Amino acid sequence: MRTLLGRHPIGLVFIAPYVVFLAAIFAYPLGIAVYMSFYDWFFAAPGAKVDRPFVGFDNYVAVFQDPAVLRSFLNIAIFLVINVPLTVGLSLVLATALNAAIPFRTFFRVSFYVPYVTASVAVVGVWLFLFNSDGLVNNVLGGLAPEPSWLVNSGLTMPLIAVYVTWKQLGFFILLYLAALQNVPKELYESAAVDGASRIRSFWTVTVPGVRPATTLVVLLATITGANLFTEPYLLTGGGGPDGASASPVLVMYQKGIEQGHAGVGAAIGMVLVIVVLVISLINRYLLERD
Amino acid sequence: MRHPVRLIALIVGALAFLFPFYYMLIGSLQAEPDTTPKGALPTGNLTLGNYADIDSRVDLGTALLNSGIFTGGVLLCTVVFGVLAGYALARLHFRGRTLVFNLMLLVQVVPFQLLTIPLYVLIVRTYGLGDTYLGMILPYAINSAAVFIFRQYFMQLPKELFEAAAIDGASELTILWRVALPLVRPALLTAVLLTFIGPWNEFLWPFLITKRADMQPLAVALANYMTNVAARAANPYGALLAGACVLAAPVVVLFIAFQKRFTATDIGSSVKG
């Protein structure tokens, strides 16, 4: 019995609800997603017997030929190119500043975290107010205001969303870097100072390499956030507008899979996205963790 | 001040972070939308009418109650089942422990949003749980990040403590309840606060499964107002921002009240692994 179940069989009882949850909410739906993505799966009245034929890779072919889907992946690439460096740079600099002995530390900490804990739906409301064509931002910019305005300018919507998400999530990443900074040995800074390194130089030679594991995590989490993007394009740019210029894959997945009822295609978009995220996270691990 | 640059960077940062919240509050109080720089100052033109307006379009009481039930259900399941799972993963040796641990890590890398379509099919179509609290809660019931945090906290407790209790003949459940839990209680609060943010702020899932207005959490009701109704209202932004303030206030207040619990060391122990 002991060898079969382990030293504490009671552990199986403790873990059982969580295992059931993982099976029902992750493993089983993942299986269904794979299944659906190979069938012409559409919604029908409950109980109705409908024919949902096996279509092989047709859904995947449809995904890769659909300009809206391809555009949404390009949009996420734009998003990541802006969001990741901005997030890594700003959160590391602010975390380093917060880590020093500074006055009003609690105040600064709280103000950086507030956007992170607040619902995106609420914050999007005020960004709409700020960035609409008659909003405060354009009023302040006056003649410099972009034309067409921020939220209806196909060249500006995605960068604006990338900046919005950077701003919203930064507090969390500052927190991660603050934790990582506690692990950088103080002696390294002291010896750098003895060698006559300036503050900026010791930031580059001691801090940046010292928090590398955290940077891996930050890049990975930012990628996952990008892959999950939905609320911002749905609400901030009125459903990924203008003309799909800010649509995210999850938004397109929702439009195809649920609004238009092609659940098989929607599931295929989801599968492609899972694979892309896993590949990016593996590459990211390889690049940031080698040596 | 020896390093004014550092302080200036922090002050500029704090302003950029806080201004939108200040502007949210001001905008929610303006009788007429005033988007000039002068309008950002609280000078006259202020009213509570927008709050009455949003309440007449979105039943704020019902929406807040729905948000509360959704969040409360997730918290209850996460605390009860998550603590049991975290304790088992940290302290108990049983067959399959490594497998469950690896699954828990994997689940956190696979974006939840990607399972939206199959979960929608399962929960709404197969089980008919659309427009129910159970359907809302199920996908979030046990927060894997919280299980991970609980495990880390239980790992940090000294081994001898558990050995002594086991020699006294206490059952694992007794040890968990009487020895381990009281010691991790402060940490438990951090995990609860972090878990609270998720369902309270969540939009996509409850949006998909609630079609009836009287079942919608506030985030969903407000988003629907934003996309459908706002364009036709007299002062669309005023009412919208009033709703935004109501949605944001509970989390911001809780966060400020317990801000000491969101420290680098607390969260750090969970990320360092």
Closest by CA position to A108, among listed A92, A93, A94, A122: A94
3-class SS of residue B46: strand
Q: Name the residue among B9, B18, B35 with its Cβ closest to that of A111.
A: B18
Q: Give the mean pLDDT of A87-95.
A: 92
Q: Give the mean pLDDT of B199-220.
A: 93
Candidates A114, A123, A131, A273, partner chain B, best to mutate (most B CBs within 10 A): A114
Residue A97 CA neighbour count, 13 Å, CB half: 27
Candidates B97, B117, B203, B269, partner chain A, best to mutate (most A CBs within 10 A): B117
Longest dimension (CA), chain B: 72
In the predicted structure, residue A34 carries a pLDDT above the cut 60: yes
CATH ID of B48-272, from 3.40.50.720, 3.40.430.10, 1.10.150.20, 1.10.3720.10: 1.10.3720.10
Asked, as a colleague might, if the bond just before A148 is cis with ω within 30 of 0, I would say: yes
> For residues A181, A104, B1 and A197, what is the CA-based torsion angle, rounded to 10 degrees?
10
B residues 77-96 lying closer than 8 A (beta carbon) to A: 81-82, 84-85, 87-89, 91-96
Domain boundaries, chain A: 58-289
CB contact under 8 A, A98 and B10: yes
> Searching chain A, which residue's CA lies closest to the CA of residue B258?
A110
DSSP 8-state symbol, B7: H
Assess contact for A23 and A31: CB atoms under 8 A.
no
CB contact under 8 A, B128 and A182: no
Bridge partner list, A54: A39
Q: Across chain A, what does the average pLDDT equal?
A: 87
Bridge partner list, B46: B30
Candidates B6, B10, B201, partner chain A, best to mutate (most A CBs within 10 A): B10
What would the pLDDT profile of B36-63 be if each residue is shown by its tens digit? Answer: 887 778 776 788 888 988 888 889 999 9
Amino acid letter, A223: T
Determine the topology of domain A58-289 in CATH: MetI-like fold (1.10.3720)
Q: Give the mean pLDDT of B198-208.
A: 92
In the predicted structure, residue B271 carries a pLDDT above the cut 60: no
Amino acid letter, B219: A
d(CA B211, CA A200): 55
Q: Give the mean pLDDT of A58-87.
A: 92
d(CA A113, CA A115): 6
> What is the per-residue DSSP string for A188-219?
HHHHHHHTT--HHHHIIIIIHHHTHHHHHHHH
CB contact under 8 A, A15 and B94: yes
Measured between beta carbons, which residues in chain A are less than 8 angstroms from residue B104?
A: 22
CB contact under 8 A, B109 and A277: yes
What would the pLDDT profile of A165-224 be if each residue is shown by its tens digit? Answer: 999 999 989 988 988 888 888 888 888 888 888 888 888 888 888 888 888 888 888 888
Closest Cα in chain B, distance from residue A117 (Å): 6
Structure tokens at B27: 């905008």
Answer yes or no: is the ipTM higher than 0.90.
Answer: no
Region at A240 (left for phi over 0; alpha for psi -120 to 50; beta for the rest): left
pLDDT band at B264 (very low <50, low <70, confident <90, very high): low
Q: Does B43 touch chain A (CB under 8 A)?
A: no
d(CA A29, CA B204): 17
Q: Give the mean pLDDT of A218-235.
A: 86
Bridge partner list, A247: none
DSSP 8-state symbol, A27: I
Closest Cα in chain B, distance from residue A232 (Å): 10
CB contact under 8 A, B226 and A125: yes
What would the pLDDT profile of B16-31 be if each residue is shown by its tens digit? Answer: 899 999 999 998 998 8
> What is the per-residue DSSP string for B200-252?
HH--HHHHHH--SGGG--HHHHHHHIIIIIGGGSSSHHHHHHHHHHHHHHHHH
Assess contact for A18 and B142: CB atoms under 8 A.
yes
pLDDT > 70 in chain A, percent: 97
Q: Does B196 touch chain A (CB under 8 A)?
A: no
DSSP 8-state symbol, B30: B
Q: Does B107 touch chain A (CB under 8 A)?
A: yes
pLDDT band at A106 (very low <50, low <70, confident <90, very high): confident
What would the pLDDT profile of A107-143 be if each residue is shown by its tens digit? Answer: 888 899 899 999 999 999 999 889 888 888 888 888 8
Q: What is the pLDDT of residue A2?
A: 65
Q: What is the pLDDT of residue B269?
A: 45
Domain boundaries, chain B: 1-47, 48-272
Structure tokens at A274: 């899972």
Q: Name the residue among A11, A140, A220 with its Cβ closest to that of B92.
A: A11
Q: What is the pLDDT of residue A198?
A: 82
d(CA A270, CA A280): 15
Structure tokens at B17: 């972070």
Assess contact for A262 and A68: CB atoms under 8 A.
no
| Helix (H) or strand (E) run with residue A17 in it | helix A10-22
Sign of the dihedral defined by the CA atoms of residues B24, B30, B36, B39, in that order: negative
